[in-house]
A and B are shown apart, each in its own frame.
Chain A
């Protein structure tokens, strides 16, 4: 399958993700922020598709946009929105924030200017058809142990959340 208007889609999706990301931190209403975040995640899913990683894109949509963000919204709707809107939006740690942003920006600039020596010129294109299989082989073969540890960590997190949320079990 021939890619169609790749450059256009790349800039479109990146722009979408960036604009949505800015909206996430500037909207006063937390529900609007969450919706913008969903848009950003969908844009990312599109970018994954362009990287010939359809499985990752699909999982991104199912887990983040369809699952986690719904739970986010669920919680946000339960808290008092009028109250949170009145609260100060940006907190007092802006100095640290700016430092972190500058550091990240410098890193980006460095990668952009010196990156050619750090990364190979062109990443070999993965065959789109076998992407899912590759991921499966990686997860359940090469990185089996790490994968299991990560899932154990999640299990602990789940139990912790249940214990914290529920007064009586």
Chain B
């Protein structure tokens, strides 16, 4: 493998008197603000960014390859390890894809449980994003506020399925676990608890002059560029495209709920912040509706013990907290998938980094990495 720095070296004609001080600097893989092991090679003119190059793969575990040697059921826990801060959404996407391949449908109650947990997970993911994003920009306090509240979500997960982070909450065909005693009460209590807290975060940041200055007009990306690069999720919506798979191609029980898809206008870091904050509120709305209307009934569809989908292929995507999370599964009729390809939102969104930070400052690179909300487990897989 050639050294990637090669591409960023100065061309001879670029070197002029007094301009020959471009720095090529490695940000990461060991860096406090690259959210794990992302390595960004920056070409700088003083503090101005002339170009970036992402080097990924430090967390590559070959998840897609592993799938080819596991049965459909055995592979289920592996997807949790991709976007480990939104493990529930990963599991939801995978289970639904295989269900679609099998041509079974989860019972309504299971769908509602899935929605509740997935939306709680969206909240948890956005809270983690907010905390780390604010920390990157220098506000250290929101991190602790969001972690305090995220803890309550993790407690609910733990009570439901025994795990806090890599939950493995769903099974192909529905849910394995019935809700525990007092689940609804606790979720409702959590909703009451967390609603004012979101206001608390906003109080610290939304009108904070420094925060606004640091985020407004930083990392702007147009709707056209977003679509061209395949960027999805809050990043796309902040650029003004009303595209949310929960609305556009409703899955699970999302068609039953009434919620808004917040969009931004300018596509800068501040808009993405506002969009995500509003999404947290909408998630609360969805959870409240789901808890009120959760039907009785079985939680597991009739699925054969040995899952052997018919020959064929399927692409199914869901709206994960970070964007469109899609699974492309090819079945050769055996118990093991022939090929599983994951369309990870973080990986696709990360491609926009270079476009967003060009001609901006080093500090903006940090802000943009934070606002893209990437998880390296998902980028590298």
Contact = CB atoms under 8 A, between A and B. Distances in A.
Asked if A and B form a direct contact in the complex, defined as CB atoms under 8 angstroms apart, the reply is yes
Interface of A: 78-80
A78 B18 CA distance: 9
Contacts of A78: 21
B16 interface: no
Nearest to A77: B21
A47 to B, nearest CB: 36
A80 B20 CA distance: 8
Contacts of B21: 78-80
Contacts of B20: 80
Q: Which 4 A-B pairs have the closest CB atoms?
A: A78-B21, A80-B20, A79-B21, A80-B21
Interface of B is mostly: loop
Interface in B1-41: 20-21
Interface in B134-187: none
4 contacts: A78-B21, A79-B21, A80-B20, A80-B21
Nearest to B20: A80
B301 to A, nearest CB: 66
Contacts of A79: 21
B322 to A, nearest CB: 39
A80 B21 CA distance: 7
A143 B201 CA distance: 60
A8 to B, nearest CB: 45
B312 to A, nearest CB: 61
Nearest to A79: B21
A79 B20 CA distance: 8
Contacts of A80: 20-21
A70 to B, nearest CB: 17
A76 to B, nearest CB: 12
Nearest to A83: B20
A79 B21 CA distance: 7
B44 to A, nearest CB: 12
Interface string B363-376: 00000000000000
A137 B317 CA distance: 81
A129 B20 CA distance: 51
B25 to A, nearest CB: 14
A78 B45 CA distance: 11
B360 to A, nearest CB: 18
A6 B21 CA distance: 48
A84 to B, nearest CB: 12
A78 B21 CA distance: 6
Nearest to B23: A78
A103 to B, nearest CB: 35
A53 to B, nearest CB: 39
A61 to B, nearest CB: 28
B181 to A, nearest CB: 66
A112 B20 CA distance: 49
B310 to A, nearest CB: 66
A28 B20 CA distance: 21
B43 to A, nearest CB: 16
A78 B20 CA distance: 9
